[in-house]
Amino acid sequence: NAGVMQNPRHLVRRRGQEARLRCSPMKGHSHVYWYRQLPEEGLKFMVYLQKENIIDESGMPKERFSAEFPKEGPSILRIQQVVRGDSAAYFCASSSNSNTEAFFGQGTRLTVV
């Protein structure tokens, strides 16, 4: 049973480009959570999605960031016009429902140059 799969593991983008991070939840999981981790800090909640719906986006920056979890395919976190401050590790977690713990993927390390 494969765990939460994130790709790419490492992503380098120039300032102003777009970054697309993908997350495939564990089999049977329909709830996805995105977190951001800056160097030497804890993870910060960004957004909670259930298939085709955004449930809670209270941690998402107001501009340039968006997330989706389509009926088919992985969840996507999109960052438009990246800036150096977007450099971080982005983690996805999934759960089977809202009443169970979520399991984390290995993360995507985004570097903006």
Nearest to 48 by CA among 13, 92, 84: 92
Distances (CA, A) of 93 to 1, 23, 30: 15, 8, 11
Among 82, 95, 110, 112, binds another protein (CB under 8 A): 95
Residues in contact with another protein, total (CB under 8 A)?
A: 27
Q: Which two tokens stand for residue 61?
A: 């920056």
CB 101 within 8 A of CB 2: no
* Cβ closest to another protein, residue 31 vs residue 110: 31
Query: Which CB atom, from 14 or from 42, has the smaller least distance to another protein?
Result: 42
Binding site for another protein (CB under 8 A): 4, 31, 33, 35, 40-45, 48, 55-56, 91, 93-95, 98-107
